[in-house]
Amino acid sequence: MAVVAGAALVGVGGIVYLLVGTSSGGHSTGNGSAASAGTGAAGNSVTGGQPGSGTGASTSGSAGAGALSPANAPKPLRPHDPGVVSSWNSGSGGKALTRINAQAGTVLMAHGAGQYPEMRAACIALASAVKAAEAAPAIPDTAMQHEYARSLNAFKAGAAQCQGAITQHPEGVEDTVTHVNSAGVKAAVAKISTGMTDLYISTETLRTPKQS
């Protein structure tokens, strides 16, 4: 299994629509194929020193396989006071939310493509985004903030587990060896997918104001 460093990740903005996995009690069970192609063993070492070399087959195309249908999808919360929540969304809280959504999406897309160095970097960025979101003002709606806090906790746990499951060390002058613990990655993806579901429930109406 080869890993390409620096591969472009696109389409992050729509990731929340694709990766709200099958839920139970309002929570995602995570992507059932969390270990992408080439990571069937408990741990794998990968040398990535040749940008442009091919990776294993991408599984990102199947990311939406477990997406919720309109019939069983959780319903996003609607703010009790749309004007107040809209003001929050236009400030630092909303900016933190946008960053969380983007970084979580990047993690899942990198995982789907088997791009583990990029996934690890995105997990580090996600952990930083969670800290910023926790420091930002709370959503001025009790129910929405409750679910948002749940999503931040899931992202925090997933990002930490991701960093523990994907480790790197230099080898020689140009190469970097990436070690992937598939079980740890699978657990991290499940937590981050749960965070995506909670994020959808708590904040989707902020991205679709006409439906508020």
Backbone Cα Rg of the chain:
17
DSSP state of 138: P
pTM: 0.68
Site of tokens 């979101």: 133
* Distance (Å, whole) CA 140 – CA 207: 16
Q: Per-domain residue ranges for the chain? A: 82-212
How confident is the model at residue 39, as a pLDDT? 38
Q: Alpha-carbon distance 50 to 176, whole Å?
A: 10
**Between the CA atoms of 159, 165, 168 and 171, what dihedral angle is there, to the nearest 10 degrees?**
-170
Phi/psi for 42 (5° steps) reads -65, -30
The pLDDT value recorded for residue 40 is 38
Task: State the pLDDT at residue 13.
Answer: 40
User: Angle at CA 109, nearest 5°, toward 49 and 44?
Assistant: 45
Phi/psi at 104 (nearest 5 deg)? -65, -40
Q: Where are the beta strands (DSSP E) in the chain?
A: 23-24, 27-28, 43-47, 166-171, 175-181
Q: Which phi and psi (to 5°) does residue 184 adopt?
A: -65, -40
Q: Look up residue 210 and give its amino acid.
A: K
Question: What pLDDT score does 70 carry?
Answer: 57
Instruction: DSSP for 45-79, please give it.
Output: EEE---TT---SPP-GGGTTTTPPPTTTPPPPP--
Reading the chain (212 residues) residue by residue, the pLDDT tens digits are 434 333 333 333 444 433 444 333 344 333 333 333 333 334 555 544 433 333 333 333 333 333 455 567 788 999 999 999 999 999 999 999 999 999 999 999 999 999 999 999 999 999 999 999 999 999 999 999 999 999 999 999 999 999 999 998 887 777 889 999 999 999 999 999 999 999 999 999 988 755 43
